[in-house]
Amino acid sequence: MVKICCIGAGYVGGPTMAVIALKCPDVEVVVVDISEARIAGWNSERLPIYEPGLDDVVRQCRGRNLFFSTDVQRYVGEADIVFVSVNTPTKTRGLGAGKAADLTYWESAARMIADVSRSDKIVVEKSTVPVKTAEAIEKILAHNGRGVRYQILSNPEFLAEGTAVQDLFVPDRVLIGGRETPEGQAAVKVLKDVYARWVPEDRIITTNLWSAELSKLAANAFLAQRISSVNAISALCEATGADVTEVACSIGKDSRIGPRFLSASVGFGGSCFQKDILNLVYICECYGLPEVADYWRQVIGINDYQKSRFVNRVVSSMFNTVAGKKVAVLGFAFKKDTGDTRETPAIDVCRGLLGDKAVVSIYDPQVTEEQVRRDLAMNKFDWDHPRHLQPVGEPADQPVAVTSDAYEAARDAHAVCILTEWEEFRSLDYRRMYDIMQKPAFVFDGRNIVDAEKLRDIGFIVYAIGKPLDQ
């Protein structure tokens, strides 16, 4: 029986390994993590992450050929294939701070693999890492001193949170990069055979190591770029009376452009886009390509601009101040169908509103009060080195309310800001909401999901991204 171990039981490691276990019943899959809370969650009825369809997959394989454990060393030692899916956040201090990937977790995982291995292993980069990371990993592993041989593969993950299970079941592609030596290619074949159980052969792409590592950074940069491009156009729409939905539809019909990822919004979030572009920027700088670095940096610049533009619109529409006014925030997760709030635009928007002394009341179906408080805590933002083109607001010092339904958040509020495109926000009873709000009542739709005309008929003043403004 092939034994797989995955280091890191997070948003990627957990779902990815659950699907491998489901599709390969003859393979033993153990997901290990240093976080006892995470592992306890995976072994409980309430999984530590919310992802549609995941409960069902885990329920089918857990205890059969899928296991979750904190005994990292034991299961890494026993495995034939070790996936490393640890976090690779942006460095916060030292060389490359604010841009470079922090590979501390990766390096400690690699050193641990070297320490505990007694048999040859394939080590798979599942985390998103800077191009050339495999070279560094090879150096660390080469010093295990026991003659154990390793093959490093790059197998970046392209799943999107909120659709992770579907993305894993039917991936657009699986990418495997390996050394071009016979040993490297043999390792590529082993991993390819795992995916080939359910992924059609023509969707499994094999490349050299550096292409695979760079492809993941480039893919995220391109996706984020599309959002920043349409958001940049949305600002021009508002200035001119054009409608961004109509513009996006028109350009998306061009088969060279395509319709997906062209929705204007309050901005992108999530743990990956910003950090991966910053990483790309840093790599370009390191390779002496400052112009290329500047090009990609601007994708983040427009995203920051979009968030501050939204806050400015809220404040200016509400007669230039929100001081003492209750503002209901609907949606705090960075997108629908996830409880993940990492880098969510809601953090900057809420901070901006609080900076103008608004009283903020937040409702999100999957986000806990504890998450909101942690995310809005002062020390998460480096006010001495703001990334923003235009910093939005000051650190939070007022209490923030987190409610268990949208109407409670909106009671006595002057405005509702929709920041996540949860389906349930499309079908709220906006008349009921209007009746319990202060007047004039505003809706600021940061995801363009409500029917603005219907809301105007009720009596709301409505702002939607990239749409003609209320007179």
For residue 24, indicate whether it is catalytic: no
108 binds ligand NAD (CB under 6 A): yes
344 binds ligand NAD (CB under 6 A): no
Report in angstroms how near the CB of residue 451 gets to ligand NAD at its nearest.
31
The count of residues interacting with ligand NAD (CB under 6 A) is: 27
Report in angstroms how near the CB of residue 173 gets to ligand NAD at its nearest.
14
**Among 4, 9, 152, 176, contact with ligand NAD (rule: CB under 6 A):** 9
Instruction: Report whether 150 contacts 123 (CB < 8 A).
Output: yes
33 binds ligand NAD (CB under 6 A): yes
Q: Is residue 275 part of an annotated ligand binding site?
A: yes
Q: Which is nearer to ligand NAD, 144 or 185 (CB)?
A: 144
272 binds ligand NAD (CB under 6 A): yes
Six-digit token string for 214: 């760079």
Q: Which is nearer to ligand NAD, 70 or 185 (CB)?
A: 70
Buried b (16+ CB within 10 A) or exposed e, 81-117: bbbbbbbbebbeeeebeebbbbbebbeebbebbbebb
What 3-state class would DSSP assign to 182?
helix
Helix 209-240 / helix 133-142 crossing angle, nearest 10 deg: 150
Write the burial class of residue 257 (CB in 10 Å: 0-12 exposed, 13-18 middle, 19+ buried).
middle
Report in angstroms how near the CB of residue 9 gets to ligand NAD at its nearest.
5
CA 49 to chain centre: 13
CA 370 to chain centre: 19
28 binds ligand NAD (CB under 6 A): no
Q: Which is nearer to ligand NAD, 89 or 459 (CB)?
A: 89
Query: Hey, what long-range contacts does 181-190 have (CB within 8 A, 24 or more apart)?
Result: 183/149, 183/151, 184/151, 186/151, 187/122, 187/151, 187/153, 188/153, 190/80, 190/81, 190/122
312 binds ligand NAD (CB under 6 A): no
311 binds ligand NAD (CB under 6 A): no
Report in angstroms how near the CB of residue 76 gets to ligand NAD at its nearest.
9
Structural element, H or E, at residue 368: none
Binding mask 110-149 for ligand NAD (x = CB under 6 A): -----------------xx---------------------
CA 93 to chain centre: 22
**Among 28, 51, 102, 157, contact with ligand NAD (rule: CB under 6 A):** 157
35 binds ligand NAD (CB under 6 A): yes
CB atoms within 10 A of CB 197: 13
Six-digit token string for 455: 């809301």
Q: Is residue 11 part of an annotated ligand binding site?
A: yes
**Among 65, 85, 133, 265, contact with ligand NAD (rule: CB under 6 A):** 85
Q: Position of tokens 């533009």?
A: 309
CB atoms within 10 A of CB 181: 10
Letter for the amino acid at 233?
Answer: I
Q: Which is nearer to ligand NAD, 210 or 407 (CB)?
A: 210
Letter for the amino acid at 159?
Answer: L
Report in angstroms how near the CB of residue 422 gets to ligand NAD at its nearest.
18
The residues of the shown chain that bind ligand NAD, judged by CB under 6 A, are: 7-13, 32-35, 38, 72, 85-88, 105, 108-109, 127-128, 157, 159, 161, 271-272
Which residues are part of the catalytic machinery?
Answer: 272
